[in-house]
């Protein structure tokens, strides 16, 4: 009989090894999945993980790594702070949409005026949009004790309807021949979030993601607030006795994650996406949850996890067009990753024992 | 706008249909939570049930086979959650989210090639005289069997939790798993069974959407119903009868806003479509004052040391 024995202290080695183990396990089982779909598993795995970086057309795909990774990292960093403290904002998708609507709305309000101040105002509007949307579950939680998981998630569906409404009404391009969707911000210089260095995929959103990583790292390791977040997550009672205010923490964590998601949405709509459309949101807000866990809620880990997840997006698209692999298979592949991560994570806190004999547990 | 086009009899009848999916799924989750487990994967299990049921019903031509397959599919998926939380001792919130994300992907994959097909229709109860009665006939005797199954499920769950010995054990496990373990109850086994039941019910609820309510298959068609089922359990303070009440409230709002859309009311369609979600939030806020009834071990990890 296998049984688990609690470790006195979480294993540091396994804390680093589990994400790698999870990725390897996902590759193996993903390969089996692709084989079941009638594709050569080795070719499929190589197409997803190797070709975007080193393949024949890698020069085209490499910039995409930052374009796709940027929003994922930015959102996941925000979420990770709350997750660490046991505050579950899972409505980042909605906050992302609101950030895009508010950011684009401010930009379009100035159209066709040109000015250096327009883009910064859009950034502020985007962050505020996400922040306000996240404050709804935040305030309801601190005022009435309402479950923030359910409220933040319900608000995703509300935001999606709002997005449909503004793309068909308020923000619709008056010169768009009646098609839904706003003006293209890529053609409006003052509002365009252009590449900072041509051909790299590096835009302001990616810069913001890197800044967020550094900010979160300093917050968690050097700042008292970061210490309070970690304390609340690991020992809620101790945190209360130490005088940590749960109200402030809930509002801070939800606020910062909302603002990050809002920023990501704003940078996306003014850059790679270009316009507000009904199907503008593509699930970054949900994938970012996987990124946050895969990165073990650690800023540097999230940076790496975000890039890896971006790789599966890009590789998935190549596999879709090249091998005819269904898009859903990639989505499942990403879900699988989180499963394996959670499953092997037990090895960090527990030792696997076989019967009564003392034996170090091998990886799953 | 023509409000007189809204027929109150049809409104109540369709309300019962609209409430059934969320009601069945919520009852399943209620049992899971009474056993002290928080499974946030209801949405994923529902959508998986929706496609399993749809696919099997289309292949076999039998809606009954479809519903059985849906329950099996939902239960099978829930076993992943059971493994993660009961054996690998993973965080229940994260595992539930993983289940939902995975289920959405899985269902989209399984559903390839099923878009735009009509499933075999689920027969309605048709009792010669009774079903033709004015008013009552349509509301009480004119539904498909799943509507009655949902109502029976609520009653059975209530009786199970209140009168059955097994129900008492289930509640004990949910209230205090350490004490239940000390008394010799198999905490993990009971919880795994509860999770499987929750998965099966979520699958049935999902299949009800794809086979009866809509009826066709589109990706992501459950559109948050699974999350609303989770909210219903909180709304109901973990009591079966109040799940029924909440489901009818939700069904009523859904049907009413659809009717208002059809009647061409001056409110834009998008705002009407978001109303069920907003009302769910409002109800959650009102109900969250009453916290005392949550099972005490809800969401806590159980690890037997002896």
Per-residue buried b or exposed e for A119-149, using 16+ beta carbons within 10 Å of the residue's own CB: bebbbebbbbbbbbbbbbbbbbbbeeebbbb
End-to-end CA distance of chain A: 15
In a domain, B75, yes or no: yes
For chain A positions 156-195, those within 8 Å of chain B (CB to CB) are 156-158, 161-162, 164-165, 168-169
- pLDDT above 70 coverage of chain A, percent: 97
* B113-145 pLDDT per residue, tens: 888 788 777 777 666 666 666 666 666 666 778
**What was the pLDDT predicted at A356?**
53
> How far apart are the CA of B131 and the nearest CA of chain A, in angstroms?
38
CB contact under 8 A, A343 and B230: no
A277 CA to centre of own chain = 20
> How far apart are the CA of A220 and the nearest CA of chain B, in angstroms?
21
In a domain, B294, yes or no: no
Token pair belonging to A299:
């800023």
* B161-200 pLDDT per residue, tens: 889 888 888 888 888 888 888 888 888 888 999 999 999 9
**Angle CA B215–B221–B226, to nearest 5:** 110
> How far apart are the CA of A319 and the nearest CA of chain B, in angstroms?
15
> How far apart are the CA of A64 and the nearest CA of chain B, in angstroms?
23
Chain A CB contacts of B223 below 8 Å:
157
> How far apart are the CA of B281 and the nearest CA of chain A, in angstroms?
6
Distance CA A49, CA B214 (A): 39
CB contact under 8 A, A335 and B101: yes
Q: ipTM higher than 0.85?
A: no
Chain B CB contacts of A289 below 8 Å:
97, 101
For chain B positions 92-111, those within 8 Å of chain A (CB to CB) are 93-95, 97-98, 101-109, 111
Confidence of residue A272 (pLDDT cuts 50, 70, 90): confident
Confidence of residue B292 (pLDDT cuts 50, 70, 90): low
Query: Is there a contact between B53 and B67 (Cβ–Cβ < 8 Å)?
Result: yes
Name the most confidently modeled range: A175-184, A299-308, B80-89. Answer: A299-308
Say if B278 is an interface residue toward chain A (CB within 8 Å).
yes
**What was the pLDDT predicted at A96?**
95
For residues A146-152, average pLDDT: 87
**Angle CA A149–A306–A106, to nearest 5:** 70
Distance CA A234, CA A364 (A): 26
Distance CA B126, CA B141 (A): 7
**What was the pLDDT predicted at B126?**
66
For residues A348-356, average pLDDT: 73
Distance CA A272, CA A310 (A): 14
Q: Which residues contact B11 (CB under 8 A, 6 or more apart)?
A: B255, B256, B259
For chain B positions 219-258, those within 8 Å of chain A (CB to CB) are 219, 223-224, 227-228, 230-231, 234
- Please say if the pLDDT value at position B277 is more than 80: yes
**What was the pLDDT predicted at B306?**
55
In a domain, B301, yes or no: no
- Please say if the pLDDT value at position B293 is more than 50: yes
CB contact under 8 A, A332 and B105: yes
Mean pLDDT of chain A: 85
- Please say if the pLDDT value at position A173 is more than 60: yes
For residues B235-252, average pLDDT: 86
In a domain, B202, yes or no: yes
Token pair belonging to B35:
């056993």
- Of B111, B112, B224, nearest to A157 by CB-CB distance is B224
Query: Is there a contact between A337 and A22 (Cβ–Cβ < 8 Å)?
Result: yes
Query: Is there a contact between A361 and A348 (Cβ–Cβ < 8 Å)?
Result: no
DSSP strand pairing (A2-6 vs A350-354): antiparallel
Q: Which of B98, B221, B238, B291 to mutate to test the interface with A (most CBs of A within 10 A)?
A: B98
A177 CA to centre of own chain = 35
> How far apart are the CA of A312 and the nearest CA of chain B, in angstroms?
14
**What was the pLDDT predicted at A128?**
95
**What was the pLDDT predicted at A303?**
93
Say if B129 is an interface residue toward chain A (CB within 8 Å).
no
Name the most confidently modeled range: A121-125, A198-202, B127-131. Answer: A121-125
More reliable by pLDDT, B166 or A357 = B166
For residues B216-231, average pLDDT: 85
**What was the pLDDT predicted at A360?**
44
**What was the pLDDT predicted at B9?**
75
Chain B CB contacts of A343 below 8 Å:
83-84, 88, 90
In a domain, B283, yes or no: yes
Q: What are phi and psi of A3, to 5 degrees?
A: -145, 160
- Of B105, B230, B270, nearest to A161 by CB-CB distance is B270
Token pair belonging to A342:
């959670």
| Total structural domains within chain B | 1
Distance CA B48, CA B71 (A): 10
Q: pTM of the prediction?
A: 0.86
- Of B89, B98, B108, nearest to A338 by CB-CB distance is B98
* B36-63 pLDDT per residue, tens: 888 888 999 999 999 999 999 888 888 8
Confidence of residue A6 (pLDDT cuts 50, 70, 90): confident
- Please say if the pLDDT value at position A245 is more than 50: yes
Say if B274 is an interface residue toward chain A (CB within 8 Å).
yes
For chain A positions 290-319, those within 8 Å of chain B (CB to CB) are 290, 293
Q: Which residues contact B261 (CB under 8 A, 6 or more apart)?
A: B269, B272, B273
**What was the pLDDT predicted at A358?**
44
- Please say if the pLDDT value at position A260 is more than 50: yes
More reliable by pLDDT, B289 or B56 = B56
In a domain, B305, yes or no: no
In a domain, B133, yes or no: no
Q: Give domain limits for chain A.
A: 66-302
In a domain, B306, yes or no: no
**What was the pLDDT predicted at B47?**
93
Mean pLDDT of chain B: 84
Distance CA A139, CA A14 (A): 38
Where residue B96 sits, what CATH number does that domain have?
A: 1.10.3470
CB contact under 8 A, B224 and A154: yes
- Of A156, A331, A345, nearest to B90 by CB-CB distance is A345
Looking up tokens 């496990």, which residue turns up? B173
Q: Which of A37, A316, A339, A340 to mutate to test the interface with B (most CBs of B within 10 A)?
A: A339
CB contact under 8 A, A150 and B80: no
Distance CA A228, CA A242 (A): 9
Chain A CB contacts of B303 below 8 Å:
4, 6
Token pair belonging to A284:
């970054």
> How far apart are the CA of A324 and the nearest CA of chain B, in angstroms?
13
| Structural domain containing residue B58 | 3-122+139-287
Q: What is the DSSP string of A156-191?
A: HHHHHHHHHHHHHTTT--TTSTT-SS---GGG-GGG
| Paired residues of A6 in beta bridges | A350
For chain A positions 121-160, those within 8 Å of chain B (CB to CB) are 140, 144-147, 149-151, 153-158
| Nearest chain A residue (CA) to B44 | A335
- Please say if the pLDDT value at position A290 is more than 60: yes
* CA distances from residue A327 to A8, A306, A323, B104, B219 in whole angstroms, order as listed: 43, 19, 11, 12, 12
């Amino acid at each position: 009989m296998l049984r688990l024995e609690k470790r006195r202290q979480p294993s540091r080695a396994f804390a680093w090894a589990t994400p790698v183990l999870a990725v390897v396990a996902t590759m193996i089982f993903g390969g089996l999945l692709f084989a079941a779909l009638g594709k050569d598993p080795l070719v499929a795995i190589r197409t997803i993980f190797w070709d975007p970086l080193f393949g024949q057309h890698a020069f085209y795909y490499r910039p995409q790594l930052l374009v796709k990774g940027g929003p994922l990292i930015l959102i996941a960093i925000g979420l990770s702070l709350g997750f660490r403290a046991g505050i579950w904002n899972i409505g980042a998708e909605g906050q992302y949409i609101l950030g895009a609507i508010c950011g684009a709305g401010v930009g379009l309000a100035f159209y066709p005026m040109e000015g250096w101040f327009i883009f910064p105002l859009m950034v502020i509007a985007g962050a505020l949009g996400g922040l306000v949307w996240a404050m709804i579950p935040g305030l309801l939680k601190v005022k009435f004790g309402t479950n923030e998981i359910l409220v933040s998630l319900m608000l995703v569906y509300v935001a999606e309807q709002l997005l449909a409404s503004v793309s068909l009404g308020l923000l619709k391009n008056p010169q768009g021949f009646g098609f839904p969707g706003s003006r293209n911000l890529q053609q409006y210089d003052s509002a365009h979030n252009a590449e900072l260095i041509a051909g790299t995929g590096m835009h302001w959103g990616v810069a913001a993601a890197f800044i967020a990583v550094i900010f979160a790292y300093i917050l968690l390791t050097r700042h008292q607030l970061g210490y309070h977040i970690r304390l609340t997550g690991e020992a809620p009672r101790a945190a209360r006795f130490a005088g940590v205010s749960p109200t402030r923490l809930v509002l801070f964590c939800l606020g910062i994650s909302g603002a990050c998601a809002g920023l990501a949405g704003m940078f996306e709509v003014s850059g790679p996406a270009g316009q507000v459309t009904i199907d503008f949101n593509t699930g970054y807000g949900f994938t970012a949850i996987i990124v946050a866990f895969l990165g073990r809620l650690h800023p540097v880990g999230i940076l790496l996890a975000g890039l890896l997840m971006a790789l599966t997006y890009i590789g998935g698209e190549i596999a879709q067009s090249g091998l005819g692999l269904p898009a859903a298979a990639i989505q499942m592949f990403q879900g699988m990753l989180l499963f394996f991560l959670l499953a092997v994570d037990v090895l960090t806190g527990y030792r696997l024992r076989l019967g009564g004999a003392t034996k170090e547990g091998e990886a799953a | 706008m023509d409000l007189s086009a809204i027929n109150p009899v049809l409104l109540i009848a369709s309300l019962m249909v609209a409430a059934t999916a969320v009601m069945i799924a919520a009852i399943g989750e209620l049992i899971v939570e009474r056993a002290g487990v928080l499974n946030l994967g209801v949405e994923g299990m529902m959508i998986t049930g929706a496609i399993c049921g749809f696919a099997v019903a289309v292949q076999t031509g039998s809606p009954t086979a479809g519903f059985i397959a849906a329950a099996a599919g939902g239960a099978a998926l829930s076993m992943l959650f059971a493994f993660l939380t009961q054996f690998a001792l993973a965080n229940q919130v994260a595992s539930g989210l993983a289940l939902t994300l995975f289920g959405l992907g899985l269902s989209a994959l399984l559903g390839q090639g099923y878009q735009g097909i009509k499933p075999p229709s689920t027969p309605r109860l048709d009792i010669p005289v009774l079903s033709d009665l004015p008013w009552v006939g349509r509301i009480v005797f004119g539904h498909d069997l799943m509507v009655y199954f949902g109502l029976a499920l609520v009653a059975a769950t209530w009786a199970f939790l209140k009168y059955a010995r097994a129900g008492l054990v289930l509640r004990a496990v949910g209230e205090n798993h350490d004490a239940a373990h000390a008394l010799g109850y198999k905490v993990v086994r009971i919880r795994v069974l509860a999770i499987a039941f929750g998965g099966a019910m979520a699958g049935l609820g999902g299949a009800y959407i794809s086979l009866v309510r809509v009826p066709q298959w589109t990706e992501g068609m459950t559109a948050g119903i699974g999350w609303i089922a989770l909210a219903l359990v909180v709304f109901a303070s973990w009591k079966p009868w109040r799940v029924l009440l909440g489901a009818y409230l939700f069904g009523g709002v859904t049907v009413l806003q659809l009717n208002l859309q059809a009647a061409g009311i001056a409110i834009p369609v998008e705002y009407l479509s978001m109303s069920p979600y907003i009302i769910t939030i409002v109800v959650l806020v009102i109900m969250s004052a009453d916290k005392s009834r949550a099972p005490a071990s809800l969401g806590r990890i159980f690890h037997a040391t002896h």
